[in-house]
Amino acid sequence: MHALLARLYPICRSITGDGVRQTLAVVGEYLPALVVHEVPSGTPALDWTVPVEWNIRDAWVKNAAGERVIDFRAHNLHVLQYSQPKHGWVTRQELEEHLFSLPDQPDLIPYRTSYYQPNWGFCLSHRQREQLLDEHYEIGIDSTLDEAGSLTYGELVLPGATEEEVLLSCHCCHPSLANDNLSGLVVAVGLARWLAREPRRYTYRFVFGPGTIGSIVWLSRNPAAVARIRHGLVLTLLGGPGQFTYKQSRRRTAEIDQAVALVLRDAGPPHEVRPWLPYGYDERQYGSPGFNLPVGCLSRTPFGEFPEYHTSADTPDFVRPAELAGSLALVQAVCAALEHNRIYRNLSPFGEPQLGRRGLYKGVGGGQEGADWQMALLWLLNLSDGSASLLAVAAQANLPLPLLHRAAHALEAAGLLAAVAAGG
């Protein structure tokens, strides 16, 4: 995952353009079944319109001696995203109106965009900015804004035993930002490769698209798939330091909310579960009131809460392979929790059934050996009245979900439980 991230890092991505195509072409090497969609600029999408396609080849600011004092070739964060093409001489005062820097982080280049408002500009470290003392500068922005272009997104569907779907969504629109957005993308790739090898009850749909407009376009084009979504996660910021943070879906008590909370609880490390907020990543599009899909957002330290966020410090060195591996393991566990969740009915509900003669209970009483196993059996028998899912039992019993899953299979094999429905 980290090698893939390092390979994708130099590409100048945006919400449209060849950078997204290059990125998805590389992803397609890992996921051969990935389908790449092109949606023409000007296409209506809910309350939005697909924007013109933006591509950039070069951008610079030269001093009077002809030296590049700001150079897109040195770092693609140096140009304001969606800058209009421009060439000529400007005064220092005019240039200052189009410069973006961080006085509190003087050595870092900020990431700034102007997708929907015509503009041009450059981003640079504040130390660089303080050294711009000439009275005039030559600027060049070799970009195109093509009304005949398109928006590009990728989609991968892994069919399961049922048509009910789990949606995994990540954004692929940021240039040279490793934790935001590439960490979520490479974890999604790792998850898809793992799921492709596993038996699946659910159908899994992966969407790799530009932030905000990508999910809006996908929602507008896929009403049939939207109706089949039962659970979903937006994956982002999964490679930097910091504890896991889960933002609940708009429903707040959906099965995905229960599953992530239980997996985080059982995993043991510090974590935080936050309530729904109509701001953030694409979960706010999936959770808009007209759709109200059960889609939460999983990250480590959330956006805006670490100093490297949206700056040139968000490099592949900032993303740690161990954190990527831990994030993948967590998302795998969440998928396993969804796959295994069932609602059971106790087939011997009058009094406690004799477990010993069925080989499910220890032979000698009085000790604590196998206490968790015994409690798993007893909790399942007690709560399996045809309304409680395994997730609900795990939450009330404070027992690990995998243990309850094994206990449920044992009770089912002994004729004491019967599955009556999928979970949730």
pLDDT tens profile 297-347: 999 999 999 999 999 999 999 999 999 999 999 999 999 999 999 999 999
Rounded to the nearest 10 degrees, what angle do helices 321-340 and 184-195 cross at? 50
The mean pLDDT value of the chain amounts to 96
pLDDT score of 424: 64
Measuring CA to CA, how many Å separate 173 from each of 169, 213, 362? Answer: 13, 10, 57
Phi/psi class of residue 365: alpha, beta or left (left: φ > 0; alpha: ψ in -120 to 50)? beta
Tell me the average pLDDT across 348-363: 86
pLDDT digits (tens, 9 = 90+) for 180-190: 999 999 999 99
pLDDT in tens, 48-80: 999 999 999 999 999 999 999 999 999 999 999
Q: Which of 128, 132, 122, 13 is nearest to 59 (CA)?
A: 122
DSSP annotation of 250 reads: T
Domains defined for the chain, CATH in brackets: 2-51+150-339 (3.40.630.10), 55-145 (3.50.30.90), 342-422 (1.10.10.10)
Instruction: Report how far apart, in Å, the C-alpha atoms of 74 and of each of 10, 137, 176 are.
Output: 10, 18, 12
Q: How far is CA 172 from the centre of its chain?
A: 10
Note the residue count of the chain.
424
pLDDT at 369 over 70: no
- In this prediction, residue 367 carries a pLDDT of 37
Give the bridge partners for 49, in sequence order: 44
Token pair listed for 75: 């770092």
**Distance of alpha carbon 280 from alpha carbon 253, whole angstroms:** 19
Dihedral sign of CA atoms 195, 201, 207, 211 in order: negative
**Confidence (pLDDT) at 422:** 83
**Tokens 């990540």 correspond to what residue?**
170
HSE-up of residue 114 (Cα within 13 Å, Cβ side): 16
Q: By percentage, how much of the chain surpasses pLDDT 90?
A: 94
Q: Is the pLDDT of residue 113 over 70?
A: yes
Q: Which two tokens stand for residue 188?
A: 């999604």
Q: In whole angstroms, what is the distance from residue 148 CA to residue 129 CA?
A: 36
CA distances for 52 relative to 121, 148, 151, angstroms: 18, 7, 8
CB-based contacts of 295: which residues, under 8 Å, 6+ apart? 167, 169, 229, 231, 232, 233, 234, 249, 256, 283, 286, 287
Q: What is the DSSP string of 275-340?
A: ---S-SSTHHHHTSTTT---EEEEESSPTTSSTTTTBTT--TTTS-HHHHHHHHHHHHHHHHHHHH
Rounded (10°) angle between helices 401-413 and 390-397 = 120
Name the CA radius of gyration of the chain, rounded.
26
- pTM higher than 0.85, yes or no? yes
What pLDDT digit, counting tens, does each position of 74-108 carry? 999 999 999 999 999 999 999 999 999 999 999 99
Which amino acid does the sequence have at 133? Answer: L
Longest dimension (CA), the chain: 93
% of the chain exceeding 70 in pLDDT = 98
Q: Find out whether 235 and 169 touch, Cβ atoms under 8 Å.
A: yes
8 A C-beta contact, residue 136 and residue 64: yes
Using the structure block, give the residue that is written with the tokens 């009058």: 350
What type of residue is 283?
A: E
Q: How confident is the model at residue 362 (pLDDT cuts 50, 70, 90)?
A: low
Residues flagged as binding site for Zn(2+): 174, 180, 310
Judged by average pLDDT, the poorest of 136-140, 147-151, 359-363, 368-372 is 368-372
- Tell me the angle at which helices 184-195 and 18-30 cross, rounded to the nearest 10 degrees: 30
Check whether 363 has a pLDDT greater than 50: no
Residue 423 is predicted with a pLDDT of 78
Dihedral angle of Cα 61, 64, 65, 71, to the nearest 10 degrees? -10
What are the distances in angstroms from CA 54 to CA 50, 73, 333? Answer: 12, 17, 39
Binding residues: 174, 180, 310
Instruction: Say how far apart CA 206 and CA 151 lie, in whole Å.
Output: 17
Give how far Cα 310 sits from Cα of 2, 109, 396, Å: 19, 9, 41
pLDDT at 370: 76
Comparing 18-27, 210-219, 251-260, 348-357, the range with the smallest average pLDDT is 348-357
**3-state class (DSSP) for residue 203:** strand
